[in-house]
Chains A and B, each alone.
Chain A
């Protein structure tokens, strides 16, 4: 019953829990009150605070007397509700004494505004085992878009939850309902470990883990069947990884744990120049105006140099590398006395020559454009700095067929999910790949429109789009955050601390998810969408539990989601496939 000793308002009220009943935080409840004219008003809300206390005693130490049987007192068990919905929208307060009931079935749907959602997918399970619907139209860009996930790392919740959401979107039926199943895709950047390289493999621990949860909760169904999701790994996955360093014809992906099924990807030197990828090499270009100017200038020059041909390498006619300054010995010359630039380091050497050595150290005036030598040196120095990481990625010594084959194509036919493994790259090279791939995707979508939704999963947003400063990668991410939803590019971004990410990216996310947070972080303004009690609780969330806030429901809801059905580590891969070990051994020996 609604309490009369605390204020009851249309947005929040307390209620007393009758003896024998039990209420926990995050339970959804419904109250019906009657207006003087007899018409009902329903309040739906979420319990955000529960407490018990001895009633009728005034001293804390009275508890000893009560327990010793001397002092009569009763236990008052009360809970506070944050109202999520008033139906109809008559914002009268509930009356003290109105009965409060658990929201179940239809009233649960109303409490979570599920009746307002034309298309919804499962966002996890509520504390009492019911499914939280998330409005798909607030994810795919129709009414809103983007998902932002915050949480400290180490408990592996951010990526897991992002993958769970993808699994729920792909396999939960919402796409079939909309007839979009075949052309909705995901692009996942793997920035830590090789965890995501086994998404297409079943997880051998899932049955055991989920069985334990089911047993603990005493449910007749497991969490996957409650969510109406298959216990299956991702389907139609391609894995892309940068190639191993060193020259040579063989291009092998630079991964350790997975031996097959990973496709290396490279950019040709010509694509690098024609595609104007140079700015993405510099993550801190905004720090100096002059440097930005030089980059823009060189970018333009290189684009012109690359125009008009399609072979992977570049040819220049005004450079004869001196043998003693060369890093690479295998410089090749064309028949017509031109020099062929085949590697990234040769390109840098060429730029160095044009900027700093030609004309007795004056440089080519058309390239230098009267820029200060110091700026030019800084430019070259930075290029040299990333050379080691980018050299295997940007190559001119490929055949046309190889270039075609190893070009990263995340929209490849028959592929639903692309995992791009970046964890071995340095920070600059990671930024380069993310920036270039996203830029390409964005430009592609600008040309072809929004029909195909592409979900981009990117962890550590704070690295790519920090609050301070500008960089080309941040520009791409901002573009995606602000315009991407109309083009069908949906960013599922994650970071440890939303306070360190560009505000416009976080604020554009329609769905916000919070896992375990540092308590100081939880008090920052970025988390104002969490009511105070939730902010406090964000510090004690366990892995597998998230607070989900969506536009349809004014308060965040605590959900848990099942253990991944796909392997997240090599040792989780169910490579036995249920067969006996001997049988597999025989397969190997054969």
Chain B
């Protein structure tokens, strides 16, 4: 009987969840590419793929507020900001990577039924510009509703951005005539309802919270070589509402002290509900995913969530944080604004 072995989760403890979660999966998983459960080597990147977009979003609650409108109705709300943005890069390295559309938007989320005007915070110092908050109604009057609203607004924007950028490829027909020239990598799982926008969008999931594979198959993840992937599977959630094509890719060797799935990432693309065939575009993306992600993967000394937190994502996160501005300055501005509304001077 082998002795006890303990190995580390690669992600630092101050990140909410570990990289590995091991929750059981209750949905249905079907082999769609091949029933042969074995590693598939990465293919080189095709020449025609000239642009890869890495899309991410970020949000921030800036202040929780209590709102009374002119009718006397009251409710909870929040000042919040979010950014979605993309990094455009050439997978062949022939261009400089550049940031796209990294711009902060601000919302004043409020409980339903309130009459709220747009809020415009004028600065005391003319250099810092105005902050415009657009009112958005939340779905319920619960205290957490503003946060959820902010999140869903951001996800909506992120989805629009992802699909707007990607190659418009037919996902469910036999022809592969439209070449895959632009691919979007979106941080996290794909959103519900995104399939209708079409386009070559891949969601990459950094963590492995849910254990999709059975005990007989999970061993392959540990033995994948960097760049190699598992066969593509068709995944249907427990509720049956979400269907995805999914596969695993290894980005780098796991260190001996880390758990053996530490360098592995799960990718997914939109799939029709009924798994009758594998669209060639999905296979094409899966084939190049290993090569692409190994190139984009970060290194441990630069990023605590390496290699899954990709190099462009890290830069994008930094740029997005900057676009939202210093939280201290913004909350101070909000305080000063409200003080002004109430006709009082306040010490910021």
Contact with B along A55-76 (1 / 0, CB 8 A): 0111101100110111111000
**What's the least CB distance linking B304 to chain A, in Å?**
13
Whole-angstrom distance between the Cβ of B274 and the nearest chain A Cβ:
38
Q: Are B302 and A68 in contact (CB under 8 A)?
A: no
Number of residues on chain B facing chain A (CB within 8 A): 22
Cβ-defined contact, A70 with B95, below 8 A = no
In the assembled complex, B114 has its CB within 8 A of some CB on chain A: no
Known: A56-B318, A56-B319, A57-B315. A66 touches B127 (CB 8 A): no
Interface residues of B in 91-113 (CB under 8 A from A): 92-99
Cα distance, A172 to B46, chains bound together (Å): 70
The reply to whether A69 and B319 form a contact with Cβ atoms under 8 Å apart is: no
Q: Which of B300-320 contact A (CB under 8 A)?
A: 301-302, 311-312, 315-316, 318-319
Q: Which residues of B contact A72 (CB under 8 A)?
A: 87, 89, 96-99, 312, 315-316, 319
Smallest distance from the beta carbon of B293 to chain A beta carbons, Å? 11
- Indicate the member of A57, A61, A70 with the most B CB atoms within 10 Å: A70
Which of A58, A61, A65, A66 is packed against the most chain B CB atoms within 10 Å?
Answer: A65
Which residues 26-84 in A have Cβ within 8 Å of B in the complex? Answer: 56-59, 61-62, 65-66, 68-73
Inter-chain contacts of A261 with B (CB < 8 A): none
**A296 in the interface (beta carbon within 8 A):** no
Q: Is the interface of A mostly helix, strand, loop or mixed?
A: loop
Q: Cβ of B127 and Cβ of A68 under 8 Å apart?
A: no
Query: Contacts of A69 on B, CB cut-off 8 Å?
Result: 89-90, 92-97
Q: Are B319 and A66 in contact (CB under 8 A)?
A: no
- Chain A, interface size category, equals 10 to 19
Contact of B296 with A by CB under 8 A: yes
Flag whether A97 is at the interface (Cβ < 8 A): yes
B93 touches A71 (CB 8 A): no
**Cα–Cα, bound, A479→B92 (Å):** 75
Give bound CA distance, A473 to B111, whole Å. 95
A70–B311 CB distance below 8 A: yes
Chain A 67-108, CB-CB to B under 8 Å as 1, else 0, gives: 011111100000000000000000000000100000000000
- Are B94 and A71 within 8 A (Cβ)? no
Q: Are B315 and A73 in contact (CB under 8 A)?
A: yes
Q: A59-B302, A70-B295, A72-B98 are in contact. Are A65 and B319 (CB under 8 A)?
A: no
Contact indicator B318/A66 (Cβ below 8 Å): no
* 26 residue pairs from A and B, CB less than 8 Å apart: A56-B318, A56-B319, A57-B315, A58-B302, A59-B302, A61-B302, A66-B96, A66-B97, A68-B93, A69-B89, A69-B93, A69-B97, A70-B89, A70-B97, A70-B295, A70-B296, A70-B311, A71-B97, A71-B311, A72-B87, A72-B89, A72-B98, A72-B99, A72-B315, A73-B315, A97-B127
Given A69-B89, A72-B316, A73-B315, 5 more contacts at CB 8 Å? A56-B319, A57-B315, A70-B296, A70-B311, A72-B98
- Interface positions of A (Cβ within 8 A of B): 56-59, 61-62, 65-66, 68-73, 97
